[in-house]
Amino acid sequence: MKRFFIDKIFNDDQSITVKEFKTLDSQLLTKEVKMTPELGICAILDTETTGLDYQKDEIIEIAIRKWIYHKKDHYLVKPLEEYSALQEPVKNEISEIITEITGITAEDVKGKKIDWQIVSTIFNESDFILAHNAGFDRPMIEAVSDVREVSSAKFWTCSFKQVDWAKMGFLSSKQELLSVFHGFHYSGHRALTDIDALANLLLQGDYLKEILANAKTKQVSVDCVKAPFDSKDTLKASGFSWNGSRKFWTKLVSESDLDETKMFLTDEVYPPGRMTAKFSPIELRDRFKASSLG
């Protein structure tokens, strides 16, 4: 386990201390910061939805907060204004499962509507957008015609995929568990609480630095078309995920790792001489778009 966990929350009497996170530190909110060329603006975003399918489901809550960040050293400096709103779905009902997960009921969203112009303005003012699972949030956002164009032009980053949590010894990359590993817990899944808790997590280490370094690394989508069925466990163990709509295993790899990935597929997945995987370079600005996820 990463030393941070031991050092920060493990006490002499073998107990652990995990504090409740309710809001960002008041010193962060009130600190005086003068904008310089070394500072920029980014946005942290989260959505709650009626389900997991961006083609069918709808956003029922959004939260987005602007942050000042250091462009060179890559760390969060100060939180700025936030926008949070509920929206009544048009095509879907809020199921009991979604209410259980999010705490949002049909009554809560009745007559409510997200002001997408506000969201567009925040996007335009931000150098990049960060979400803990951008592969989910970006397609959901870009399914909304009112904000699709501005979102499509932005760089999106992901604290779930673009930090190697496992390599650092963390047992899970889920935000709630990472927070506990860093000594705090919070009441999720409301979107505003989630984005502030995510920021609090990123402030605990050099995680934004790793995210932005990863964001500049060129990647290739590896789609294991017609992979043998009995290779599924091998692919899953190597970090491939199943694309249910297109029926193949897929993974994003950096260009520097592509030859190693091809060798792995040739030696361990496909029969000799019958490797049919497809390799598609992903533009940096297209990272986490629905089309880049296979």
123-148 pLDDT tens trace: 999 999 999 999 999 999 999 999 99
Summarised one tens digit per residue, pLDDT across range 78-110 is: 999 999 999 999 999 999 999 999 999 999 999
pLDDT of 10 reads 65
Q: How confident is the model at residue 270 (pLDDT cuts 50, 70, 90)?
A: very high
Residue 64: exposed, middle, or buried by beta-carbon count in 10 A (0-12, 13-18, 19+)? buried
DSSP output for 75-143: -EEEEEEEEEEE---SS----HHHHHHH---HHHHTT----HHHHHHHHHH-SEEEETTHHHHHHHHHT
Quote the CA–CA distance of 137 and 6 in Å, as a whole number: 32
Quote the CA–CA distance of 178 and 133 in Å, as a whole number: 14
Number of C-beta neighbours around residue 127 at 10 A: 13
Give the 3-state secondary structure of residue 293.
helix
Q: Per the structure block, which two tokens stand in for 35?
A: 């904008």
Q: How confident is the model at residue 1 (pLDDT cuts 50, 70, 90)?
A: very low
The CATH number of 3-215, from 3.30.420.10, 3.40.50.1820, 2.30.29.30, 3.50.50.60, is 3.30.420.10
Domain ranges of the chain: 3-215, 219-287
Give the 3-state secondary structure of residue 148.
helix
Q: How confident is the model at residue 5 (pLDDT cuts 50, 70, 90)?
A: low
Quote the CA–CA distance of 214 and 130 in Å, as a whole number: 13
pTM for the structure as a whole: 0.86
